[in-house]
């Protein structure tokens, strides 16, 4: 934390610096992670300290692009400074590779007075372990030595691999997402602009140029005079004047004269001014821990004495208005501090015991709240400390859901107690009522206590919706919420996990796997775990009845849905319009 190494990229950069500067020995896993982070690092055996000594060239397949077709990236990269020369072509033809060398690479190095000595080709240019004769002949005509790829398992050279990643991420994905190209020429024009910005402005982390832009690294490593040809009998090229920007290839136009290059010393990172900020934060945290620990210990030690004196202090009458300055400085009675203890500000009371006593409340003896209250319980979260309990309630007046705690006012009621799946509220007229997510309000409370309908075994034989006790309210569902097309119905069946339930090898209904408040079956009154037994006077007996169920819902109007909930049959009245 002191070195701000929160991200994996920063940790790998620091590991690479220590490996290069201090010869840190790496484990196999560390070496693989560094090579994946910076593929150039695995090509250290090709290390060159002067531009033009070694260039790496290859062709990479980008696949089929929209409106453009098959596209290949032909690139040549200087291994000393990562300066890149590239084009986008429609095939891996070596003629495109020759064009990159002739029109871009050699033209630029001649103007800089530098001779290109060696080119290492990749596996994308080598076809069947053979080099194209035209490509080989061109290199010989320029006095450039040709080197074949090494027999490694890597499909791409590390320099080509990192450049190909940057082209895909920073140019190709962004360009194809932001605009539509009608042909490869338009894409190539945009690519040339990006390539020029890459060489001039984009710093590359790690080996070999350490957070510098390729053109900046080229200026720092280029010799002050023109390099001579490889063979001693050839004349020395005289350096030409600094070319104008318009005369250079568009992708690698030389930058204006730069000041003396920065010398990058890769030492181990040492914390500077920012370390004092971390130390100050740590010191503040230690002080806070000590303070709150002292406060909590003081309350624990003072609790017995506070309880002993509370009764006598509570009986003390309010003092008269002080008549002197000395009376005004008198400390308040202990009773005025008891609210701190009651609210358990420092977590020294016993919330677990209070929660256990709260769960003993006979919620079944408290009447369910009706539709007139305008509140619907969606869910509850109960902790050992009642102060942490909360309930999610749907308020009909505002058509919104909110999170409420005990003693909060919601609508025209006050929340008194929050329990598991139940909330006790008190209305304006002083009535205590209950919101629940497990039951529905029924017309006959006595029938709700003694059981509704029939046992599961006799339900199929005694299916009679008129004899089943129903909920007192009618659920209204907009017609557009009900799926009607076969595709929508299939999606709903999968989302709600509607599965067949069998009783003695006979279909007894369809089980509802999961529901949320926005599902149309939830708006019909169905809950998670219910078994839908039938609709209107029709009892489900075959899997094909599920299609009939959705067809009946799509017709709309008044209907009755019979469900089995916790071993009881219940009738749900609904209106779809």
How many whole angstroms separate alpha carbon 422 and alpha carbon 286? 42
Reported confidence tier of residue 138, pLDDT bands at 50, 70, 90? very high
pLDDT digits (tens, 9 = 90+) for 82-94: 999 999 998 888 8
Q: What mean pLDDT is predicted for residues 233-241?
A: 44
How many whole angstroms separate alpha carbon 479 and alpha carbon 484? 10
> Taking the CA of residue 201 as centre, how many other CA atoms within 13 Å lie in the half-sphere pointing to its CB?
6
CATH number for the region 357-436 comes to: 2.30.30.830
Range with the lowest mean pLDDT among 360-369, 422-431, 542-551? 360-369
Homologous superfamily in CATH for domain 38-252: Ribonuclease H-like superfamily/Ribonuclease H (3.30.420.10)
The DSSP letter of residue 537 is T
How many whole angstroms separate alpha carbon 135 and alpha carbon 19? 39
Which residues lie closer than 8 Å to 71 by C-beta, 6 or more apart? 61, 62, 63, 64, 65, 88, 89, 90, 184, 187
Is there a cis peptide before residue 259, judged by omega within 30 degrees of 0?
Answer: no
The DSSP letter of residue 268 is P
- pLDDT value of residue 74: 92
- pLDDT value of residue 49: 81
Strand partners, 406: none
CB atoms within 10 A of CB 510: 21
The DSSP letter of residue 437 is S
> Taking the CA of residue 99 as centre, how many other CA atoms within 13 Å lie in the half-sphere pointing to its CB?
12
Q: What mean pLDDT is predicted for residues 560-566?
A: 90
Nearest to 313 by CA among 291, 336, 294, 295: 336
pLDDT at 164 over 70: yes
pLDDT at 562 over 80: yes
The better pLDDT of the pair 78, 456 is held by: 78
Nearest to 350 by CA among 313, 310, 384: 384
How many whole angstroms separate alpha carbon 51 and alpha carbon 113? 11
Q: Which two tokens mark 368?
A: 């369910």
CATH class (in words) of the domain with range 454-576: mainly beta
Domain 357-436 in the same topology as domain 38-252: no
How many whole angstroms separate alpha carbon 322 and alpha carbon 7? 64
How many whole angstroms separate alpha carbon 203 and alpha carbon 517? 51
Helix and strand counts by DSSP (H, E) for the chain: 18, 19
The better pLDDT of the pair 459, 136 is held by: 136
How many whole angstroms separate alpha carbon 192 and alpha carbon 253? 11
Helix (H, G, I), strand (E, B) or coil at 63: strand
Q: What mean pLDDT is predicted for residues 4-27?
A: 73
The better pLDDT of the pair 519, 17 is held by: 519
How many whole angstroms separate alpha carbon 18 and alpha carbon 150? 28
Q: Quick one: CA torsion of 282, 287, 292, 296, rounded to 10 degrees?
A: 120
pLDDT at 559 over 60: yes
pLDDT digits (tens, 9 = 90+) for 261-292: 443 444 444 555 567 788 899 999 999 999 99
Q: What pTM did the predictor assign?
A: 0.40
pLDDT digits (tens, 9 = 90+) for 358-377: 555 566 668 788 777 889 89
Q: Does residue 468 contact residue 453 with C-beta atoms inside 8 Å?
A: yes
Sorted by where each begins, the domain ranges of the chain are 38-252, 357-436, 454-576
Percent of the chain with pLDDT over 90: 22
- pLDDT value of residue 75: 94
How many whole angstroms separate alpha carbon 226 and alpha carbon 113? 4
pLDDT at 537 over 80: yes
pLDDT at 429 over 50: yes
CB atoms within 10 A of CB 63: 8
pLDDT at 100 over 60: yes
- pLDDT value of residue 249: 46
Q: Quick one: CA torsion of 538, 544, 546, 550, rounded to 10 degrees?
A: -90
């Amino acid at each position: 934390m002191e070195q701000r190494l929160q991200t994996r990229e920063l940790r790998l950069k620091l590991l690479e610096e220590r490996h290069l500067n201090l010869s840190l020995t790496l484990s196999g896993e560390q070496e693989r992670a560094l090579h994946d982070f910076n593929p150039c690092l695995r090509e250290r055996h090709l290390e060159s300290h002067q531009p033009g000594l070694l260039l790496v060239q290859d062709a990479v397949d980008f696949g089929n692009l929209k409106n453009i077709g098959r596209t290949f990236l032909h690139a040549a990269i200087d291994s000393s400074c990562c300066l890149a020369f590239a084009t986008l072509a429609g095939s891996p033809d070596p003629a495109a590779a020759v064009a990159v060398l002739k029109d871009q690479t050699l033209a630029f190095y001649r103007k800089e007075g530098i001779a290109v000595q060696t080119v290492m080709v990749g596996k994308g240019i080598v076809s069947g372990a053979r080099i194209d004769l035209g490509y080989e002949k061109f290199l010989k005509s320029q006095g450039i030595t040709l080197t074949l790829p090494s027999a490694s398992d890597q499909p791409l050279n590390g320099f080509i691999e990192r450049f190909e990643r940057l082209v895909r991420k920073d140019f190709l994905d962004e360009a194809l997402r932001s605009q539509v190209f009608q042909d490869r020429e338009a894409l190539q024009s945009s690519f040339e602009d990006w390539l020029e910005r890459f060489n001039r402005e984009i710093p590359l982390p790690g080996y070999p140029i350490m957070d510098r832009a390729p053109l900046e690294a080229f200026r720092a490593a280029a010799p002050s005079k023109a390099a001579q040809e490889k063979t001693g009998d050839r004349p020395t090229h005289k350096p030409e004047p600094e070319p104008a920007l318009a005369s250079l290839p568009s992708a690698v136009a030389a930058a204006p004269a730069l000041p003396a290059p920065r010398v990058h010393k890769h030492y181990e990172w040492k914390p500077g001014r920012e370390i004092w900020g971390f130390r100050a934060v740590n010191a503040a945290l230690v002080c806070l821990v000590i303070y709150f620990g002292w406060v909590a210990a003081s309350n624990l030690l003072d609790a017995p004495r506070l309880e002993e004196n509370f009764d006598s202090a509570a009986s003390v009458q309010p003092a008269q208005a002080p008549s002197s300055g000395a009376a005004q400085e008198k400390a308040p009675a202990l009773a005025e501090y008891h609210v701190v203890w009651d609210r358990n500000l420092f977590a020294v009371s016993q919330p677990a015991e209070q929660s256990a006593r709260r769960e003993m409340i006979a919620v079944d003896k408290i009447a369910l709240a009706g539709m007139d209250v305008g509140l619907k319980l969606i869910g509850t979260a109960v902790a050992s400390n009642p102060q942490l309990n909360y309930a999610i309630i749907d308020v009909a007046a505002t058509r919104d859901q909110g999170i409420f705690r005990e003693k909060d006012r919601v609508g025209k009621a006050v929340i008194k107690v929050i329990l598991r799946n139940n909330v006790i509220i008190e209305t304006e007229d002083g009535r205590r009522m209950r919101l629940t997510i497990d039951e529905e309000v029924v017309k006959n409370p006595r029938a709700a206590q003694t059981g509704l309908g029939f046992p599961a075994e006799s339900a199929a034989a005694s299916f009679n919706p008129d004899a089943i006790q129903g909920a007192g309210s009618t659920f209204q569902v907009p017609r557009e919420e009900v799926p009607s097309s076969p595709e929508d119905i299939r999606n709903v069946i999968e989302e709600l996990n509607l599965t067949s339930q069998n009783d003695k090898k006979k279909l007894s209904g369809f089980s509802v796997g999961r529901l949320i408040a926005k599902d149309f079956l939830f708006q019909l009154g169905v809950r998670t775990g219910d078994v839908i037994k039938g609709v209107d006077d029709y009892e489900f007996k075959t899997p094909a009845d599920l299609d009939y169920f959705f067809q009946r819902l799509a017709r709309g109007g008044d209907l009755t849905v019979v469900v089995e909930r916790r071993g009881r049959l219940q009738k749900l009245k609904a209106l779809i319009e």
